[in-house]
Amino acid sequence: MKAVIPSGEIPRCSSRHFYLRLLPVLILLAWGIYAMLLVWIKGLNQTNMNNTYGFALWIWADLAIIALGGGAFFTGLLTYFFGKTELRSIINFAVLVGVICYSSALLILALDVGQPLRFWFIYWHANVHSMLTEVAFCLTVYFVILNIEYLPALMEHPKLQQIPFFKNLGRNTHAVMGLFAGIGVFLSFFHQGSLGGMTGVLYGRPFAYREGLLIWPWTFFLFTWSAAAAGPCFTLLLARLTEMVSGKKLVPGVVKDLLAKISGWMIITYIVAKTADTIFWATNTAPKAGFVWTRFYTESPLYHGYWILVAEILICGFIPGLILISKRGRHHKRLCWIAVLLVICGVCLNRWSLIMQTVAMPVLPFEKWVFYLPSWQEIATTLIPVSLGIIIIALSYRHLKLFPQEKELN
Amino acid sequence: MGLGASAGLTLSPLPWKLLDDLSIWTQNWPWVPIPKDGKETYQQSVCTLCPGGCGITVRKIDERVVAVAGREDFPINQGRLCPLGLSGPQLLYTPVRVMSPMLKVDKGYRQISWERAMSLLTSKLRDLRADGQPEKLACLADSDQGTTPGLLKRFLTAFGSPNFFQTVSADDAWEVLTEKLSGAQFIPGYDLEETDYVMSLGCGLVEGWGSPLRTMRAHSLWKERGTQLVQIESRLSGTSAAADRWIAVKPGTEADLALGICRVLVENGIENSQPFREILRSRYATEQVAKKTGVSPSIIESLADDFKHAKRPLALCGGGQGRSPVASREFIAATVLNILAGNIDQPGGVYRNKKYDYLKWPQTELDTRARNGLKQGRLNASPEDLFQTIADSQTSPIEMLLVSGVNPCYSCLDTENVIQAVQKIPFVVSFSSYWDETAVNADLVLPNHSHLERYQDVAVYGGLTEPKMGLSVPVSRQLFDTSYTGDVVLGAAKTLGGTISNSFPWKNYETCLKSTLSGQWQALLKQGFISLPQPGRTPDKGSLRLRLPKIDAKEIQLEGNIKEYPLILISKSSMRLSSGAAGSPPFMIKAVEDTVLKKNMGLVDIHPQTAGKMGLGEDETALLTTPRGAAEVMIHLDEGTMPGMVVISQGLGHTAYGAYLADKGVNFNQLMGPVKDPLTGQNTAWGINAKLSKV
Amino acid sequence: MEKTDGKSYQKFGMVIDLDKCTGCGSCMVACMSENNISFRPDETDKLRSISWMRVYKLSNQKPFPQTDLCYLPMPCMHCEGADSGHSPCISVCPVTATDYDKSTGIVSQIYTRCFGCRYCMVACPYQARYFNWWDPVWPKGMEKMLNPDVSPRMRGVVEKCSFCYHRLQSARDKAHLQGRPEIPEQSYQTACAQACPAGAITFGDLKNANHSISSLVKPDFNQGGKSKNPKVFRLLEKLDTKPSLYYSSSKQWVRDMSDNKLREEKPQPTITMQNSRERRN
Amino acid sequence: MFPTVFEWIWDMGHVIFMSIFWLVIIVLLIGIVTVLWKTAIDTNREAIESGDEWSETSARGRNPF
C-alpha cells in the first residue's frame, strides 16, 4: 500500500523497505502467538511454574511492564496539571507507550490465569480486600482512558481528517483531555500502588511483607513512586530508539532534558525512601517473623544474593539518580543514556526480586529453596509485548503525527 | 447508529445471559467426570490384601464401591486401615484386572469362554494322567491353609502329584524352627499390649510387622503408657526413630548382641539361666560381643540392666515386616532372652500358639495312578529350589504349573532365574485377578474374583496373642467374567471323574466353604471373625527347653566376596508400598516420597561418607551390582544409614501392572539370592554383598 | 461451646501426635480416596503433585548414629488469621473463592469460582494449596470409585484440604433428623483422622470442652489459640496466622523446627562413635 | 460488583471501594457522552454552514464509511 504521510510533507520510506525491516519482528510475534495458543489450549502445564512458583516470569513481566508504562500517566500529570506544556511534544508518544504496555500486561494476565474464560469473575465476584481486585479494576478502566487519550493522535490521520465527524471527535476529545488525564492519573496512583501492595500484604511471606499506612503497605507507595520515576525514562529510551531507527530528530533536546531531570529527582527521592524501607524491614519487620535479614540473601547467594540489593539500590538507584539530577551528567550524552537504562533495569530488578525471591524463599524451617527456569512457552509469550510494541510504534510513527515537532526539527 | 446499537446491546440482557452460560460451561467441563449420586450403603468384610486380616467397612453408592475404611468393631484394626486396604476401590476397578479367561497366542492373549478354558485345562490334565506321570503337575499357592489352597492341595493329591508348594510364610517357618529347636511346633504370639519393655532385634514394628495395624496400635499404646522400646538395627528405620533407644549394631549381629545381653544377665545370676550358663559364658564375653557388634560394653551392660529391671520385658525377632522365615540364631537369641525374662506363656510375654487346622474333610480317595504318582515324593523343599532345578535342567521336570494367590515372577528371589524357569514349563496356569508378572508369563489365565467380590477365609496368626480367622465376603457384584479358583478346581475334578471327582463332594466353592465352616459360619458372617481355639494353653513358667548345642547355630554368610562387593545391600519395607502379591495401586505410588522414586528411577539410601568415597552425590545415577544382578539406581544421601551399607525399597521394580506401577524403580528380589539357614534349610537371606559404580 | 448472638460458634481443629505418627501414609491415601484427588502415572514431581495431606520427613541433621527423624503430616492449617478471617490466603483472593467460616473455623475453597490466579498459593506460608496443572483423567473404569459428595476439580483451579467439610454437612443433617442440638464428636471426623493406624490424629471442636482435642491442646484463645500444653505447638506461630492445626511432640529438636529463630543454636558436639542414640526429652 | 450479586456485603470496604469505582465510571461515561454529543452537534452545524443538503451530510456525518 502507499504510505500515507502525516500532513503531507514528511517523507517516509517505501512500504517494501518498511515491511522488510519489520519481518524479523513479525516472526518473533508469530512465535509468541504460537506459544500463547499452546498455553490456552493445553493449559499451564506448558510452563515451568509449580505449586511453589505460583507466580513467576509472567507476573514479573506484568509488574515491570506496567511500571515502565507509568510514563503515560506521569507525563500526563506534568503536562496537564503542572503546566509543563513543552512536554506536549512527547505526550502522544508517552500515551502510545502506555497503550502498548497496558495492553500487553492485560494479555499476559489473561495467559497467567488457569481459567481465562472466568476472567470476568474478578469483577462479578470482586473481593475488595484483595490488591489484585484493585489492580484489575483500575487496569481495565485506565486502559480505556489511555485509548481515549490516544484518540486525538489517531484522528490526526489524514484519511480520518477528511471525515468531519472524526475531525471534530479528535478536537473535542483533545479539549476535555484534562478530565481524562485526571482520572487516568488518579487510577494510576492506585493500580501502580496495588501492584506493590500485592507482595506487601503477604504477611505469610516475611521477605515480601511490609508494614504500612492504613490498608496500604509501604510497597504500595514505593511502587507508584518508582513507576513515576522509571516510566518517563522508558518513554525517553523508546523515543531515542525511534529516532535512531528513523534517523530523524523527533523530540527537542530541552524536552528530553526536562523529563530526564524530573525522573532524576524522582529516582533519587524514591531510592532514599526505598533504602529507609529496606532498613526498617530488615531491623523490625523481618525479625518479628523470626528471620535475621541476612538469611534472605545468604542461603542461595548465587540466585538471591546480596548482589540484588547492591545492584538495585546502589548501581540502579543512587548512581543514575545522581547522574540525572546533575546538569553535567545529563548533558554528557552517553552517561545520560546509561543512567536512563540503569533506572529501567533498577525498577525491573526490584519487581523481579519481590516476586521471585518471595516465592523461592522457604518459610517453613524444614523446606528447601526452590529454583525455576521459565519454559520456552513462557519466554516466547513474554516477548510478545516487545514485538507488538515495535510494530505498533512503527505503524503509528509511519502513519500518524506521533511527534508534533518532527517537521520543524528536521 | 452503530453506537446506538452497541449501547442497546449492552443494556439488553443478552450479554449477561451469555456470561452466565459461559460461566456454567467453564465450571463443568464435559471431560471432568461428575460422580453419580445414589443410595448410600455400608457393607462389612475382611481385607485379604495382606496376612494382617483387618476388618473393613465398604461405602457404596448404589452399586459403586466408593471407599474402604477400617471396621470399628474389629479387634485387629479397630476402625483403622493401612494405605493398601484404603486403596481397595482402585484394585477393584483398575484396568489391569484380568476381565475374562485368557489364552496365550503367538502374539499376546486371546479372550476365551470359560467352557473353552475348562476343556483346555482338563484335556491337559487328562493327558498327564494318561501318560502315567501325574507328578509332573505342580501347584504354587500362597499358603496351605484356607479352603482355596486346601482344595488345590487336595486336588493334587487326588490327581497323584506330591508337588504342592507354598511360598514359605513366616507362620510355616515358625513350625519348622520351633520343631527343630524345642521339639514342639508352635507359632509365637506376642502380648505386645501388656509388656512394659520391648527389645526388638531389627523388627520393622511400625513398617508393617506381623499384623501391621495391630502392631502399630500397640506402638501407640506404648507411647501412652511409657513402655520402653529398644530397637537393635543397623539403620535409622521408622522403628529406630520411634524407639526410645536405638542401638546401631553392625548388620547381621543382632543375635550376638542379644546373646551378649543374655550373658550379662546370666552373670548377674538371673533365674531360669541354668541351661545356657556354660555356653554363654564360653562364647559371649561382653568384650567379644562388643567387638563383633560395634556396641560398647557399657551399653550392653546398661541394656541388660534395663531388661532385668523391667516388669514384663519382651524380646522380638523377625526383620522387616516379619513375613519371611527368621534366622534360627535370631530366634534362639530372642527366645533365650524371653526364657530368662520368664515370660513364656505369660501376660506381656510370648504365647506358644498352635496352628489350628479347620479343614476337616474326608480322606482323599486315591486310585493306583495317584498312588504311583505320590510315591515319587516332592521334587524340592521350597519354591526357590523348584525354580532352580527347572532352570538348571534341560527339559522341565514339571509339565504343568498352577499358580494361585502368589506372583513368583516378581516376589521370588533371583527373579530373572524364576522367570526363565516359568517360561521353560510347557503349560502354566495363573489364577491371578490382575495382569501381574506371572500372569503375563502364563499360557492360560483363569482370573479369580477380586478381593472385594469374593468369599475367602483367612487365618491370621501374625504374632497375635489370640490367632483369628476372618471371613471376607463379596461387597461388590462381580464386575467381569471371573470365577472362583475353587470352582475351577471342583469343575476340573468333576470332568476328570473317578476317584478325583469322588474326593470333591461339593456342588461349588461357596457350598464347600459353608460346609467347611458350618459351625462358625453364622458367627463369621455376623462379626467377620472368630478366635481360633488354642487347646491346652497352660501357663507353665519357662517350660520351653532349647536343645543346647543349637544355641549358637552358624550365622548366615552373605553371598558374594567382600573384595569384589565391598558394600552390604539390604532392603527397607514401607507401609506406602506393597511388597506382597498385590501390586501397589496408584494412590500408594502417589504417596511414595521423592527420596524413594524419581521419575522412573529408584533411589538407594547411602551414607554421605560412603557415597563420597565413590564420588557419588545426591540424585546421581549409579550402577548397583550384586552377584545375582545389576540395576541402575539413583543415590540418596542419608545420614541415618550405616556407612558401608546400601538400602533399597521393597515393592518397586514391577514389570507388569500397567503405567501406574510398571517400570518404576528396582525390584530388590531380582538382586537377591536365597541363602539357606544352617539349621532349618529355609531361605533366611537378609542381605547381599554389592557394589556401586558411577555411570 | 461458646455462644455468641444466639448462634453456636465452633472452631474445628486437629492435633497430630508426632510421637505416634509412623509416616505410613494412610492419611494421604484416605484423603485422596475421600476427596476424589486425581492421580497421574508419574507423581514424583512433588512440586506439581496434588496431595491435600502431605507427610514431611524431618531430620535432626546429626551424624550417624545420633541421627533422628520425625514424620510430620501437613494438611491445610485452616488459619484464622490476624483478625478472625484475615487468613493469608483469603484476604488476597480476588474472586472471593476462598473464605473463613467464623461459625466452624474452616477455610473453604470454591473450585467453580476460582479462576486460577494462584495468588493464594503465593500467600500461604505452609504451601498447603495445590494447583491443577493438568486435566484430571481417571483410567477407564476407575471413575466408578468417585465419591459423589465431593466434586472433582477441573484443570486450572486451586484446591486444598477442606477438613472433609462435606462430612460436617452430612453430620449436621443426621443430627437434625435425630433432633440433636449439637453434632456428637464421632459423627464428624475427617478421613485422615479416621484412617490413621496409629491414632495419631485427633480432630474436633477446639471450643468444645467435651471434645478430646480441647483437653489435649488446651488452646488459649486470648493468646490467639496458643496451646497451654508445653508439648503442643503450631507451625510458624510468629507469623500470627493462627492455624487450627496443632502438633504434639516429646522431642525438643522437633519442636525447635516448628518456627524460624533469630539466633540459631549450634548443633551440639557429637559423642565419639558410640553406637546408640538415647532419647532425652 | 452490583448489590444484586450475592458477594455484596454492606461493609466499609465494599462501600468505599465500590462507590469510588462507580464514581470514576460515571465521570468517565459523562466525559465520553459529552464529547460524542458535542461532536455530533458540531458536525451537523458545519454541514449546514457548508450549505450542503441536510440529509446526505448528516448521513455522512453520522455514518462516515
What residues in chain A have their Cβ under 8 A from chain D's Cβ atoms? 123-129, 134, 137, 141, 144-145, 148, 163-166, 168-169, 172-173, 176, 179-180, 183, 186-187
Closest CA to C21 of C281, C243, C197: C197
C-alpha B576/C-alpha B597 separation (Å) is 12
**Which chain D residue lies closest to A121 (C-alpha atoms)?**
D1
Give A4-46 pLDDT, tens digit per residue.
455 455 677 788 888 888 999 999 999 999 999 999 999 999 9
The domain ranges of chain A are 15-409
- A204 vs C125, C130, C154: nearest CB: C125
Owner of C-alpha cell 520391648: B198
Question: Angle, to 10 degrees, between the axis of helix A88-112 and the axis of helix A15-42?
Answer: 30
Q: Which residues of chain B lie closer than 8 angstroms to C20, CB-CB? A: 219-220, 223
Give C124-152 pLDDT, tens digit per residue.
999 999 999 999 999 999 999 999 999 99
In the A/B pair of chains, how many CB contacts fall below 8 A?
A: 9
* pLDDT of amino acid B53: 92
Please give the distance of CA A362 from its chain centroid, rounded to a whole number.
Answer: 29
CATH topology of domain A15-409: Formate dehydrogenase/DMSO reductase fold (1.20.1630)
Q: Please tell me which residue, B557 or B261, carries the higher pLDDT value.
A: B261
pLDDT higher than 50, residue B156 = yes
Q: Which chains share 3+ C-beta pairs under 8 angstroms with B? A: A, C, D
In the B/D pair of chains, how many CB contacts fall below 8 A?
A: 4
- Across the range B124-151, mean pLDDT stands at 92
Q: Which residues of chain D lie closer than 8 angstroms to A120, CB-CB? A: none
B695 has a chain D CB within 8 A of its CB: no
Question: Which letter does DSSP use for residue B572 in this model?
Answer: E
* pLDDT of amino acid B425: 96
Cell triple for B76 = 485387629
CA of C197 to nearest chain B CA: how many angstroms apart? Answer: 5
* pLDDT of amino acid C266: 45
Interface touch B32/C61, C-beta < 8 Å: no
Interface touch C64/B69, C-beta < 8 Å: no
By mean pLDDT, which of A310-319, B175-184, D4-13 is the weakest?
A: D4-13
C-alpha A254/C-alpha A86 separation (Å) is 9
**Which chain C residue lies closest to B230 (C-alpha atoms)?**
C278
Interface touch A114/C235, C-beta < 8 Å: no
Give A86-112 pLDDT, tens digit per residue.
888 888 899 899 999 999 999 999 999
* pLDDT of amino acid A83: 81
* pLDDT of amino acid C270: 41
Q: Which residues of chain D lie closer than 8 angstroms to B3, CB-CB? A: 36
Q: Which long-range contacts (CB under 8 A, 24 or more apart) does C107-114 make?
A: C107/C76, C107/C78, C107/C79, C107/C160, C108/C162, C108/C165, C109/C158, C109/C159, C109/C160, C109/C162, C111/C151, C111/C153, C111/C154, C111/C157, C111/C159, C112/B27, C112/B28, C112/C151, C113/A121, C113/A125, C114/A114, C114/A115, C114/C157, C114/C158
Confidence of residue D3 (pLDDT cuts 50, 70, 90): low
Question: Measured over all CA atoms, what is the biggest interatomic distance in chain B, rounded to whole angstroms?
Answer: 115
By mean pLDDT, which of A363-372, B15-24, C103-112 is the weakest?
A: B15-24
Residue A131, strand partner residues: none
**Which chain A residue lies closest to B25 (C-alpha atoms)?**
A117
Q: Which residues of chain C lie closer than 8 angstroms to A285, CB-CB? A: none
* pLDDT of amino acid C271: 41
Interface touch B22/A117, C-beta < 8 Å: yes
* pLDDT of amino acid A201: 93
User: What is C2-256's CATH number?
Assistant: 3.30.70.20
* pLDDT of amino acid B11: 59
Please give the distance of CA A263 from its chain centroid, rounded to a whole number.
Answer: 14
H-helix or E-strand containing B216? helix B212-225
The CA distances from residue A118 to A47, A382, B20, B368, C95, in Å, are 20, 22, 10, 81, 10
- Looking at every residue in chain C, the average pLDDT score rounds to 89
Interface touch A133/C94, C-beta < 8 Å: yes
Q: What is the 3-state secondary structure of B24-65?
A: HHHHCCCCCCCCCCCCEEEEEEECCCCCCCCEEEEEEECCEE
* Region class of C140: left (phi > 0), else alpha (psi between -120 and 50), else beta: beta
pLDDT along chain A (410 residues), means of 10: 50 83 94 95 94 94 93 87 85 90 92 90 87 90 88 81 84 85 87 91 94 88 93 92 88 88 93 95 93 90 90 93 91 90 95 93 92 95 94 88 79
Q: Which residues of chain A lie closer than 8 angstroms to D24, CB-CB? A: 141, 183, 186-187
Q: Which residues of chain C lie closer than 8 angstroms to A289, CB-CB? A: 238-239, 260
* pLDDT of amino acid B546: 62
DSSP A337-396: HHHHHHHHHHHHHHHHIIIIIHHHS--STT---------HHHHHHHTHHHHHHHHHHHHH
Q: Please tell me which residue, B4 or B137, carries the higher pLDDT value.
A: B137
Confidence of residue B532 (pLDDT cuts 50, 70, 90): confident
Give ∠ CA B317-B573-B149 in degrees, rounded to 5.
75
pLDDT higher than 70, residue B316 = yes
**Which chain B residue lies closest to A124 (C-alpha atoms)?**
B19
Amino acid at B254: E
Residue B166, strand partner residues: B141
Q: Which residues of chain C lie closer than 8 angstroms to B73, CB-CB? A: none
* Substitution target from D2, D21, D36 for chain A, most A beta carbons within 10 A: D21
Give ∠ CA B543-B547-B553 in degrees, rounded to 5.
130
pLDDT higher than 60, residue C275 = no
Query: Looking at chain A, how many residues does it have?
Result: 410
**Which chain B residue lies closest to C40 (C-alpha atoms)?**
B660
Interface touch C134/A43, C-beta < 8 Å: yes
Closest CA to C76 of C105, C47, C103, C96: C105
Confidence of residue B539 (pLDDT cuts 50, 70, 90): low
Query: Looking at chain D, how many residues does it have?
Result: 65
- B88 close to B584: Cβ distance less than 8 angstroms: no
Whole-prediction pTM: 0.92
Cell triple for B134 = 501325574
Among B173-187, B270-284, B548-562, C125-139, name the most confident range: C125-139
Q: Which residues of chain B lie closer than 8 angstroms to D63, CB-CB? A: 1-2
C-alpha A350/C-alpha B105 separation (Å) is 67
Interface touch D36/B1, C-beta < 8 Å: no
Give C3-35 pLDDT, tens digit per residue.
444 445 899 999 999 999 999 999 999 999 999
Q: Which residues of chain A lie closer than 8 angstroms to B26, CB-CB? A: 115, 117-118
Interface touch A115/B26, C-beta < 8 Å: yes
ipTM for the predicted complex comes to 0.91
Give D25-62 pLDDT, tens digit per residue.
898 899 889 889 988 888 888 877 776 554 454 444 44
Q: Which chains share 3+ C-beta pairs under 8 angstroms with D? A: A, B
Interface touch C259/A290, C-beta < 8 Å: yes
Partner A, chain B 20-39, Cβ-Cβ below 8 Å: 22-23, 25-26
Confidence of residue B196 (pLDDT cuts 50, 70, 90): very high
Closest CA to A52 of C133, C98, C38, B634: C133
Q: Which residues of chain A lie closer than 8 angstroms to D5, CB-CB? A: 124-125
- A195 close to A66: Cβ distance less than 8 angstroms: yes
- As a whole-number percent, the residues of chain B with pLDDT over 70 amount to 94
* Substitution target from B1, B26, B28 for chain A, most A beta carbons within 10 A: B26
Helix (H, G, I), strand (E, B) or coil at B613: helix
- Is omega for the bond preceding C139 within 30 degrees of 0, making it cis? no
Q: Which residues of chain B lie closer than 8 angstroms to A370, CB-CB? A: none
Give ∠ CA A185-A190-A195 in degrees, rounded to 5.
125
C-alpha A175/C-alpha D38 separation (Å) is 11
Alpha-helical runs (H) found in B183-211: none
- Looking at every residue in chain B, the average pLDDT score rounds to 90
C-alpha B408/C-alpha B141 separation (Å) is 10
Question: Angle, to 10 degrees, between the axis of helix A253-280 and the axis of helix A218-246?
Answer: 150
- C153 close to C37: Cβ distance less than 8 angstroms: no
* pLDDT of amino acid A8: 52
| DSSP E strand boundaries for B474-520 | none
Please give the distance of CA A46 from its chain centroid, rounded to a whole number.
Answer: 26
Interface touch D43/A173, C-beta < 8 Å: no
Exposed/middle/buried for residue D25 (C-beta within 10 Å: 0-12, 13-18, 19+): middle
B3 has a chain D CB within 8 A of its CB: yes
* pLDDT of amino acid D13: 78
Q: Please tell me which residue, B85 or B463, carries the higher pLDDT value.
A: B85
- A165 vs D25, D34, D43: nearest CB: D43
Q: Please tell me which residue, B382 or A320, carries the higher pLDDT value.
A: A320
* pLDDT of amino acid A110: 92
Residue A230, strand partner residues: none
